[in-house]
């Protein structure tokens, strides 16, 4: 089995290690599998990571394309990206993905790879996932793709993961499909993995630890707010759904979040708006409407109150 791992400038070393280590361990415990693992590039052979350490690849970009053609072509392609990738690499990435897709190669990508898969047309009417910080922007830009809050998602013979530690979960699931449970358990034991996470597990967030210990009613209220950013619910609608009075809800928020429900809800919408400004080309008016504000002026006022500068400044910052 031939596996091609292609690095994109700005890739994560954590993601790369999470791909390479399990595969090389599998090669050791099952030599009959005859794994052939190659590392290529979408640019030059020397590829810089997001932390500035370069990796010298065996294959150049043209070599990587050749590895996806012919009777001896790679059966699996891992596209290893970071959360961002250089604009100048976009053309090569799309060419690589489309060639692999036409050849029937299984494609698995990390980091911002779902953005690249979507741009290449691989996720049309399917599903994908990206890092939770850019997931709202991904959903806004790609209405024909189901944007999933998940560790990894497989759709149309293509798998995407936000990368980092979630890459390991994706790779373990891939190996399990290839060799079955017994060998996968041996491999996990060697790698000190007790319980690989399922793909549909929600991505961890900054408040994940807090939410686990938060009162159930508060978690319900926060979930309703997060799911209704474009068409915000009235406070009385939220309190009715969670079975509390307005006063009880206000005390709950004050005790655990130190602010009113209204202030917290507005902050969520502002954060959503900022992500859309940073990661999409939507106009400020479109973003105003996507965050539940009737016009740009009101959105801009609350945005400045929240972040200390206007929306236009955010878009100017590289």
In a domain, residue 93? The reply is yes
In a domain, residue 249? The reply is yes
Examine the domain organization and report whether 142 and 217 are in the same domain.
no
pLDDT of residue 318: 39
Q: Quick check: 160 and 113 in contact, CB under 8 A?
A: yes
In a domain, residue 203? The reply is no
pLDDT of residue 317: 46
Burial code of 158-178, b = ≥16 C-beta within 10 A, e = fewer? Answer: bbbbbbbebbbbbbbbbbbee
Taking alpha carbons only, the member of 59, 84, 70, 73 closest to residue 6 is 59
Model pTM score? 0.76
CATH of the domain at 230: 1.10.10.60
Structure tokens that stand for 180 in this block: 């079955």
Question: How many domains would you assign to the chain?
Answer: 2
Examine the domain organization and report whether 169 and 230 are in the same domain.
no
* C-alpha torsion sign, points 95, 316, 80, 41: positive
Examine the domain organization and report whether 61 and 186 are in the same domain.
yes
Integer Cα distance of 237 and 243 in angstroms? 10
Examine the domain organization and report whether 147 and 271 are in the same domain.
no
Examine the domain organization and report whether 169 and 218 are in the same domain.
no
Examine the domain organization and report whether 102 and 214 are in the same domain.
no
Examine the domain organization and report whether 236 and 171 are in the same domain.
no
Examine the domain organization and report whether 182 and 84 are in the same domain.
yes
In a domain, residue 247? The reply is yes
Range of the domain at 145: 2-190
pLDDT tens for the chain, 318 residues: list them.
899 999 999 999 999 999 999 999 998 888 877 889 999 999 989 999 999 899 999 999 999 999 999 999 999 999 999 988 888 889 999 999 999 999 999 999 999 999 999 999 999 999 999 998 888 889 888 989 999 989 999 998 999 999 999 999 999 999 999 999 989 998 999 999 887 889 998 888 766 555 666 789 998 999 899 889 999 999 999 999 999 999 999 999 998 888 899 999 999 999 889 888 877 888 999 999 999 999 999 999 999 998 888 898 877 543
Q: Quick check: 68 and 76 in contact, CB under 8 A?
A: no
CATH of the domain at 150: 3.40.50.880
Examine the domain organization and report whether 132 and 255 are in the same domain.
no
Examine the domain organization and report whether 16 and 57 are in the same domain.
yes
**Last residue of some domain: 161, 190, 219?**
190
Examine the domain organization and report whether 163 and 282 are in the same domain.
no
**Last residue of some domain: 128, 156, 190?**
190
In a domain, residue 200? The reply is no
pLDDT of residue 276: 87
**Last residue of some domain: 141, 158, 190?**
190
In a domain, residue 195? The reply is no
In a domain, residue 113? The reply is yes
pLDDT of residue 137: 87
Facing residues of 128 across strands? 147
Q: Report strand pairing: 153-155 vs 2-7.
A: unpaired
**Helix/strand/coil percent split, the chain, to 5:** 50, 15, 35
Facing residues of 48 across strands? 54
In a domain, residue 54? The reply is yes
Examine the domain organization and report whether 181 and 216 are in the same domain.
no
pLDDT of residue 217: 93
HEC per residue, 163-187: CCHHHHHHHHHHHHHHHCHHHHHHH
């Amino acid at each position: 089995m031939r596996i091609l791992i292609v690095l994109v400038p700005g890739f994560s070393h954590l993601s790369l290690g999470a791909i390479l280590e399990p595969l090389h361990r599998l090669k050791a415990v099952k030599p009959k599998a005859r794994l052939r693992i190659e590392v290529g590039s979408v640019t030059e052979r020397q590829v810089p990571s997001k932390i500035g350490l370069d990796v010298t690849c065996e294959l150049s970009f043209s070599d990587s394309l050749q590895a996806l053609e012919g009777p001896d072509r790679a059966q699996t392609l891992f596209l290893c990206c970071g959360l961002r990738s250089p604009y100048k690499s976009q053309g090569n990435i799309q060419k690589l993905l489309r060639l692999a897709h036409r050849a029937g190669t299984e494609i698995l990508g990390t980091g911002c790879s779902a953005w690249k898969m979507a741009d290449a047309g691989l996720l049309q009417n399917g599903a994908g996932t990206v890092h939770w910080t850019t997931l709202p922007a991904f959903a806004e830009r790609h209405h024909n793709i189901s944007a999933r809050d998940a560790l990894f998602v497989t759709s149309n013979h293509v798998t995407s993961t936000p990368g980092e530690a979630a890459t390991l979960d994706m790779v373990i699931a891939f190996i399990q499909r290839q060799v079955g449970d017994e060998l996968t358990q041996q491999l996990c034991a060697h790698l000190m993995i007790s319980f690989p996470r399922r793909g549909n597990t929600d991505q961890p967030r900054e408040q994940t630890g807090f939410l686990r210990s938060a009162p159930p009613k508060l978690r319900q209220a926060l979930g309703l707010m997060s799911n209704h950013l474009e068409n915000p619910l009235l406070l009385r609608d939220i309190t009715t759904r969670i079975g509390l009075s307005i006063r009880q809800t206000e005390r709950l928020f004050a005790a655990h979040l130190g602010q009113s429900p209204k202030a917290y809800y507005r902050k969520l919408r502002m954060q959503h708006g900022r992500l859309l400004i940073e990661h999409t080309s939507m106009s400020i008016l479109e973003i105003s409407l996507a965050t539940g504000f009737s016009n740009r002026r009101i959105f801009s006022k609350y945005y400045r109150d929240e972040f200390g500068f206007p929306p236009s400044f955010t878009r100017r910052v590289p």
